[in-house]
């Protein structure tokens, strides 16, 4: 099945950065990209967990690197992107995957929890995209994939900030694409 898709989905030699790639979804996205020939940059904040995921990918014969940075911190992001470009190459594909949800009814939601969810789920993709898009514009090539959720359309009583952040991510994607 993978062999069949290689002709359609050829990203051989491309560098792909997957934020939040120490979790289940991020690992799956990273593995899929490597199976189609990309060199993958895994990202997370926990360096030990990140090193473990990178080693798993290497043990499976995939080309992977790990760069720890917090997606809500511009300075960390910019330093990491600069290192990635020098050590691995320019980012051709960005998968903005890092995300969290903290559940509580709106009336009981803590303001700092709102800020944390919006920071990781919406500000993070903005900051990382901003850091990689400059090189993409110069090269006139690149892809940014934002991982959304159906919850921005459905909503649930205990995940208002999550739903708001994912809805904002859809709007951000539209604006960046233009």
d(CA 87, CA 105): 45
Q: Do the beta carbons of residue 173 and residue 96 sit within 8 Å?
A: no
Report which DSSP code applies to 18: E
Three-state DSSP class for residue 14: coil
Q: Do the beta carbons of residue 22 and residue 46 sit within 8 Å?
A: yes
Q: Do the beta carbons of residue 25 and residue 97 sit within 8 Å?
A: yes
Residue tagged active-site, from 65, 109, 126, 162: 162
Helix %, strand %, coil % for the chain, to 5?
A: 55, 15, 30
Three-state DSSP class for residue 67: strand
Q: What is the dihedral of CA 54, 123, 95, 152, to 10 degrees?
A: 120
Pairing relationship of beta strands 93-96 and 143-146 according to DSSP bridges? parallel
Q: Is 65 a catalytic residue?
A: no
Active site residues: 162
């Amino acid at each position: 099945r993978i062999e069949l898709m290689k002709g359609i989905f050829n990203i051989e030699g491309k560098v792909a950065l997957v934020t939040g790639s120490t979790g289940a979804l991020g690992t799956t996205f990273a593995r899929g990209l490597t199976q189609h020939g990309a060199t993958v940059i895994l990202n997370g904040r926990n360096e030990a967990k990140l090193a473990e995921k990178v080693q798993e990918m290497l043990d499976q014969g995939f080309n992977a690197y790990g760069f720890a940075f917090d997606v809500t911190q511009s300075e960390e992001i910019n330093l990491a992107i600069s290192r990635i470009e020098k050590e691995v190459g320019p980012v051709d594909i960005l998968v903005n995957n890092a995300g969290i949800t903290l559940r509580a009814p709106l009336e009981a939601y803590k303001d700092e929890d709102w800020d944390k969810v919006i920071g990781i789920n919406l500000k993070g993709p903005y900051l990382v995209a901003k850091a990689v898009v400059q090189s993409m514009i110069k090269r006139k090539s690149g892809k940014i994939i934002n991982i959304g959720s159906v919850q921005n359309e459905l909503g649930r009583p205990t995940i208002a900030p999550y739903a708001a952040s994912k809805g904002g991510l859809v709007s951000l994607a539209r604006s960046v694409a233009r």
